[in-house]
Amino acid sequence: MTTTTAPDASAVLDHRLTAADRCDSCGAQAYIAAEVNGSELLFCAHHGRKYEEKLRSIATSWHDETARLTAGD
């Protein structure tokens, strides 16, 4: 993986979820994406944390952008 010093460039790479991505449980903005059985599930921070323990054991990927909530984006 290439390391970059430009903060804007790394933010683009780390943040793939947008305001248009909505939680599958409640419709709030999604900050967590999990791939389970070939399907992507999207969750807000609350529901992502609620289901994380069960989903992590079966998910093939877990993408967490909840740090954006406190990063001052």
- The pLDDT tens digits for 7-65 are 444 444 567 999 999 999 999 999 999 999 999 999 999 999 999 999 999 999 999 99
Integer-rounded Cα radius of gyration of the chain = 13
Domain ranges of the chain: 16-69
* 43 within 8 A of 56, measured Cβ to Cβ: no
Query: Strands, E, within the chain: which ranges?
Result: 32-36, 39-43, 61-64
pTM across the whole model: 0.76
Is residue 5 scored above 50 in pLDDT? no
Q: What angle do CA 2, 34, 51 make, to 5 degrees?
A: 130
pLDDT at 71 (0 to 100): 73
